[in-house]
Amino acid sequence: MELFIDTAEIEEIKSLNVTGLIDGVTTNPSLIAKSGRNILETIEEICNEVSGPVSAEVTATDFDNMILEGRKLSSIAQNVAIKVPLTFDGLRACKVFSDDGIMVNVTLCFSSAQALLAAKAGASFISPFIGRLDDIGSNGLNLISEITEIYSIYDFDTKVLAASIRSVQDIIDSAKMGADVATIPPKFLKAMYNHPLTDKGLADFLADWKKTGQTIL
- Rounded distance between C-alpha atoms, residue 199 and residue 107, angstroms: 38
CB of 87 within 8 A of CB of 64? no
Q: Which of 14, 72, 83, 190 is catalytic?
A: 83
| 176-217: pLDDT as tens digits | 999 999 999 999 999 999 999 999 999 999 999 999 999 999
The closest alpha carbon to 110, from 92, 89, 137, belongs to 137
- Rounded distance between C-alpha atoms, residue 24 and residue 184, angstroms: 11
Active site residue 83: yes
What confidence score (pLDDT) does residue 122 get?
A: 98
- Rounded distance between C-alpha atoms, residue 43 and residue 56, angstroms: 7
Which domains, ranges and CATH numbers included, belong to the chain? 2-212 (3.20.20.70)
- Rounded distance between C-alpha atoms, residue 158 and residue 4, angstroms: 16
CB of 22 within 8 A of CB of 13? yes
| 105-123: pLDDT as tens digits | 999 999 999 999 999 999 9
8-state DSSP, 62: S
- The pTM for the full model equals 0.95
